[in-house]
Amino acid sequence: MTRPHDRTLTEAGLAPNGTGRVLVIGCGALAHEILALKRANGWTHLDLTCLPAIWHNHPERIVPGVREAVARYRTSYDRILVAYADCGTGGGLARTCAELGVEMIEGPHCYAFFDGIDMFVTHAEEEITAFYLTDFLARQFDAFVWRPLGLDRHPELISTYFGQYEKLVHLAQTEDAALEARAREYARRLGLAFERRVTGYGDLARFLSQSR
């Protein structure tokens, strides 16, 4: 019988430990994309555990959460990859990953690494008045934007929060007509022009490919 400390985490539950295993500690907002890349590339050696996506609203929780996850799983894996950008930690996550000897994807946030950091910087200079959505935020707009800002109760605050923006840019990871329709609707709600840019998985795919 396999003892609990001899088992490792996968998206389907627990599986026997083995050699050559890689764990991705990821933001919950990236789970869908990481698992899609795993399936598409046949990365059976790669497991995923996620921290709550809502921590983007509480970035002070990210560094302690990653530190705890690394401590919990380090002995079960040959390598650990951290699928978080800086995400409001002020460089704290990068310093912690360096201290712990784990690899972290580069970038200030997921908008940048989906678009590709150099490309995002180029776009950002032209889009200083743009509000960005990824596919995740297109799925979870109400839970992560609309309700936390109180716009469901006080729509008059839209101009306070979004009056400085001119357009909503959907950085799309996939070709999904339903998500595009949602993103268009959110632009309408906010009174913004709409633009869609298909980025694919960008630097996230390249980062995870190094696990092979």
Inform me whether the pLDDT recorded for 64 exceeds 50.
yes
Cα angle value 177/52/153 (rounded, 5°): 70
3: which 2 tokens? 């003892």
All domains of the chain in start order, with CATH:
4-105 (3.40.50), 111-198 (no CATH)
Give the DSSP per-residue string, 18-69: -SS-EEEEEEGGGHHHHHHHHHHHT-TTEEEEEE-GGGGG-GGGHHHHHHHH
In terms of pLDDT, which residue wins out, 211 or 197? 197
Question: If pLDDT is split at 50, 70 and 90, which confidence band does 19 have?
Answer: low
pLDDT in tens, 165-179: 999 999 999 999 999
pLDDT in tens, 131-164: 999 999 999 999 999 999 999 999 999 999 999 9
